[in-house]
A and B are shown apart, each in its own frame.
Chain A
Amino acid sequence: MNRSRVGAVVLRILYLYRGSPQRVFPIFVWVAVDILMWGFLTRYLNAVSRGPLDFVPALLGAVLLWDFLTRVMQGVTMAFFEDVWSRNFLNLFATPLRISEYLAGLVIAAVGSSLLSLVVMVVFARAAFGLSFLTYGVALAPLVAVLFLTGIALGVAAAGVVLRLGPASEWLIWPIPMIVAPFAGVFYPLAVLPGWMRAIAAFLPPSYVFEGMRAVVAGDPAPWARLAAGAALAAGYLILACFFFASVYKTAIRTGLIARYSAESVS
């Protein structure tokens, strides 16, 4: 893998963020809005429930972790969409750039933007609602890692879908986190789901993360084996997503889609 070419993909995204406050705005503002809304809701629930459960780490923490996954996925797809919107594929893929280098560049750009977003979340949630991520102890690292791998896998797969179906299909991509969330048990234990939803949840790495998070908040030991299973599942999806994107790219080269990719549907 050529570092200069990977760097070129990252540099392009960096220039876009640097020259455009509109692109930086969502990293901070939507996260802050989510924290405010869910922060006050958890404060209200703590006041009325009188139970032993602290909703701040259980619910607000879940929102922040879910936001993190969404930001990671969008970090990849937004970087890819920049090339779609500027009709840059012909210029890009007529260079020595390899598809693995292109994907590596998108992922590195997503790491940058999502980590920035995570820092903002942690600092703001701590300052406004007293949420400390230290509550999760050492389990925090695998929780974040599994969500990160899942977000990257979703982003790469979504980019493949848009490359295959055309720019108009980006509208299929935005709702993906919202579709996955009910099955992943972000806000509630999987035990409340009907059997068929639990069966789907078993294939979703985030479900292992949020079950694990709730166990830690409840004072139980971190379920390391289940977190490891979630991590293995997420890593598997990431490999599959990369193969899927590479396969779509090869098809696009064979059919000429890359050369004539334009601003409207090409299917």
Chain B
Amino acid sequence: MTLPPPVLSVENLAKSFGGLRAVDGVSFSVSTGEIVGLLGPNGAGKTTTINMILGVLEPTSGRIVIEGVDLRLDRSGALALTNFAAVYAPLPGNLTVEQNLRVFARLYDIEAVEARIEDLLETYDLKKYRRTKAGVLSSGEQTRLTLAKAMLNRPRLLLLDEPTASIDPSAARDIRAGIAGHVEGGQCGVLWTSHNMFEVEAVCDRVLFLSRGRIVLEGDPKQLPGAHGVETLDDLFVSVAHEGLAAGSAS
């Protein structure tokens, strides 16, 4: 059986800030219908990697290809196939829910804007807030809005940076199920960062552990702990984080 072509292909990606090597020769891919977890302690290089894939941070070296489009050669073309949601990037609070979605729908130049917005307002339970300014929504509602924005252009590649960090467990479960259902439909591939190992285990098909800018582990989140002699993914995370710190203090 031939594997579908990856929606994201990252080759030997690196980013330095002065003398600091924040991302150091990272290579991986994400296929259609796959959710890949990007894990690691704070400062491991997760957000730097995501920012490079989003085109808002230029790599020092390496290559990013989204659905066959090289980000460096055709930034607009590659980003038209991508979208993201991050807890640290709320939508402008001085626009209403509906206005925000209209503005971003135009930025992604999508067709049948109103029908798409109605669909997303329904899916993310935002209909009753459509004329509410985004700044006065609760953090959970804001998360649902950023997710609705992230789905506007039916992205082939979806980047989620701790998407459920500020919402209650019930809402988080609904959101996980919604995204998993979307991915299972073969509509996109997802790169998902989270510090919630329960969530990662429940959602991700594969995980990449980053430590000090490098991928140090890769595999099935259900099998990786056993293969490394620990009971849970949480334990494995702690172990990787400590090894990273020890290596950092030794260097």
The answer to whether residues A92 and B107 also contact, given A98-B76, A253-B56, A256-B17 and a CB cut-off of 8 A, is: yes
Contact A20 B94 (CB under 8 A): yes
Q: Mark A84-113, 1 if CB is under 8 A from B, else 0.
A: 001111111111111000000000000000
B214 to chain A, nearest CB (A): 19
Interface pick from A5-13, A138-146, A211-219? A5-13
Contact A97 B107 (CB under 8 A): yes
Contact B89 A2 (CB under 8 A): no
A262 to chain B, nearest CB (A): 10
**B179 part of interface (Cβ distance < 8 Å):** no
Bound form: Cα–Cα A19–B91 in Å: 16
**A258 part of interface (Cβ distance < 8 Å):** yes
**Max chain B Cβ within 10 angstroms of own Cβ: one of A2, A19, A95, A256:** A95
Q: Mark A1-38, 1 if CB is under 8 A from B, else 0.
A: 01011011001100110011000000000000000000
Which residues, 82 to 122 on B, are CB-close (under 8 Å) to A?
A: 82, 84, 86, 88-96, 99, 102-104, 106-109
Contact B94 A96 (CB under 8 A): no
Bound form: Cα–Cα A89–B54 in Å: 12
Bound form: Cα–Cα A256–B22 in Å: 12
**A259 part of interface (Cβ distance < 8 Å):** yes
Among candidates B82, B109, B133, B149, residue contacting A5 with C-beta atoms closer than 8 Å: B109
Bound form: Cα–Cα A254–B61 in Å: 11
With a cutoff of 8 Å between Cβ atoms, the chain B residues found around residue A98 in the complex are: 75-76
The answer to whether residues A2 and B17 also contact, given A12-B92, A95-B104 and a CB cut-off of 8 A, is: no
With a cutoff of 8 Å between Cβ atoms, the chain A residues found around residue B133 in the complex are: 19
Contact B58 A253 (CB under 8 A): yes
Chain B interface residue count, CB cutoff 8 Å, equals 36
With a cutoff of 8 Å between Cβ atoms, the chain A residues found around residue B96 in the complex are: 15, 19
A25 to chain B, nearest CB (A): 16
The answer to whether residues A16 and B94 also contact, given A93-B56, A94-B55, A256-B57 and a CB cut-off of 8 A, is: yes
With a cutoff of 8 Å between Cβ atoms, the chain A residues found around residue B68 in the complex are: none
Contact B106 A94 (CB under 8 A): no
**Max chain B Cβ within 10 angstroms of own Cβ: one of A82, A91, A254:** A91
With a cutoff of 8 Å between Cβ atoms, the chain B residues found around residue A253 in the complex are: 55-58
Contact A91 B109 (CB under 8 A): no
8 smallest beta-carbon distances between A and B, as pairs: A8-B106, A96-B76, A86-B92, A94-B54, A4-B109, A95-B107, A96-B80, A8-B107
* 11 more A-B residue pairs beyond the given contacts A95-B104, A254-B57, with a C-beta to C-beta distance below 8 A: A8-B104, A16-B94, A19-B99, A86-B92, A86-B93, A90-B86, A90-B88, A91-B149, A94-B54, A96-B75, A259-B47
**30 chain-A/chain-B pairs, Cβ below 8 angstroms:** A2-B76, A4-B107, A4-B109, A5-B107, A5-B109, A8-B103, A8-B107, A11-B106, A16-B95, A19-B94, A19-B96, A20-B94, A82-B94, A86-B93, A87-B90, A90-B89, A91-B92, A91-B104, A91-B149, A94-B56, A96-B79, A97-B107, A98-B76, A253-B57, A253-B58, A256-B48, A256-B51, A256-B57, A259-B51, A259-B57
